[in-house]
Amino acid sequence: MKALVYKKPELMALEDYPDPVLASGEVIIKIESSGICGSDMHAYFGHDPRRMPGLVMGHEVSGVIHQSASPLYKPGKKVTVDPLITCGFCSYCRTGRDNLCENRTMIGMNRPGAYAEYMAIPAASVVPIPEDMPHRVAVLTEPAATVVHALSISEARMHRPVQEQQVLVIGGGAIGMLMALLLTSRGVRHVDLAETNALRRVSAAEHLPARIIDPVDTPPAESSYNFVVDAVGRKVTRDMAIQALKPNGVLMHMGLQDWSSEVDMRKITLAELIVLGTYTYSYADIQATVQALHDQVFGDLGWVEYQPLADGPGAFAMLARHKIRAAKIVLQP
Ligand SMILES: [Zn+2]
Ligand SMILES: [Zn+2]
């Protein structure tokens, strides 16, 4: 089969790659769509020790069961996946926090991923989708589940309902867009989205019922938001988030570009800020997200761009140079 292989930092190539072999308890999916994730971009620059050259990346999937060694799925069924392969028996798995499974692995990281014509995965990680759900929509399940999970963690810590909050989303990439869309569709009236890339601001303004700001020209006002989502995760955005939060406000830290930096611990302490981390999604979050996407909670997704898998090397290069307005590129074999 053809697959997009990560050759070395800043080089992807479409190559012949061994077909996946059907193993006990697994299925082989014929990939119809696979999205390029920010974490794959991170690896593309050589910044991810977990994703090494030779790997087929890709963990945002929509496809059809091609072969099955599981009684759960027959060939022809439309599916997406939970890219995390979890053990099912550790204390996290047994308490619905399977995203934190102590024995987890992941497709596109520990085993070949979805930038290919076919991919093998345990049947337990497969998530069925409605037959009338287009692959171009279902492929957004994984990134959308990330924001569904992050928002549910955040809401649990808010003093008042999220609908009453002044919200700032930092970053107009796919995660920032999906978070802003989820918030507005849930009835949050005051959502500001901060994005430094002018091309992305134009796209966001077309597709998002939110106020779009350039934080360089118009820095968010100090202590004016109850809830800030950092969908970038650099020192500059963390500092922006903390200064923008009202006392007892909630910071949801989702992006992870800089792994560490000094932050204003004085404000965090004295203003009783609530700083939250998040990692992926549970299987239940993914199921809820399939339903939400099917119900068009995330709008028409007109800001997503679709390209042939064969154009994958060019798509990565364009994303790397920020020469693109699409916040998400989906590859189609
Ligand atoms: Zn991802
Ligand atoms: Zn586990």
| pLDDT in the model for residue 307 | 97
Q: Which amino acid, residue 52?
A: M
Which numbered ligand comes closest to the C-alpha of 86? Answer: 2
Distance CA 234, CA 170 (A): 10
CA of 222 to the centre of ligand 1 (A): 31
Nearest to 42 by CA among 70, 87, 10: 10
CA of 284 to the centre of ligand 2 (A): 15
Query: In the predicted model, is pLDDT for residue 324 greater than 90?
Result: no
Cβ-contact 145, 254 below 8 angstroms: no
Provide the CATH number for the domain formed by 145-277 in this structure.
3.40.50.720
Length of the chain: 333
CA of 38 to the centre of ligand 1 (A): 6
Residue with tokens 């560490």: 260
Nearest to 166 by CA among 220, 239, 231: 220
CA of 59 to the centre of ligand 1 (A): 6
Distance CA 60, CA 107 (A): 10
Look over the chain and give the mean of its residue pLDDT values, rounded to a whole number.
Answer: 96
Distance CA 221, CA 210 (A): 17
Average the pLDDT over 69-84 and give the result.
Answer: 97
Which numbered ligand comes closest to the C-alpha of 85? Answer: 2
Q: How many helices (H) and strands (E) in the chain?
A: 10, 17
CA of 39 to the centre of ligand 1 (A): 6
Average the pLDDT over 236-255 and give the result.
Answer: 98
pLDDT tens string 84-135: 999 999 999 999 999 999 999 999 999 999 999 999 999 999 999 999 999 9
Q: What is the DSSP letter of 204?
A: H
Distance CA 328, CA 21 (A): 30
What percent of the chain has a predicted confidence (pLDDT) above 70?
A: 100
pLDDT tens string 11-58: 999 999 999 999 999 999 999 999 999 889 989 999 888 899 999 999
The domains of the chain are located at 2-140+301-332, 145-277
Q: For residue 278, how many C-alpha atoms fall within 13 Å in the half-sphere facing its CB?
A: 28
CA of 83 to the centre of ligand 1 (A): 9
Provide the CATH number for the domain formed by 2-140+301-332 in this structure.
3.90.180.10
When pLDDT is cut at 50, 70 and 90, the band that residue 255 belongs to is: very high
**Contacts of residue 84, Cβ cutoff 8 Å, sequence gap at least 6:** 98, 99, 101, 104, 105, 106, 125, 280
Residue 216 has a CB neighbour count (10 Å cut-off) of 9
CA of 96 to the centre of ligand 2 (A): 10
CA of 97 to the centre of ligand 2 (A): 9
| pLDDT in the model for residue 126 | 97
Q: Which amino acid, residue 14?
A: L
What percent of the chain has a predicted confidence (pLDDT) above 90?
A: 93
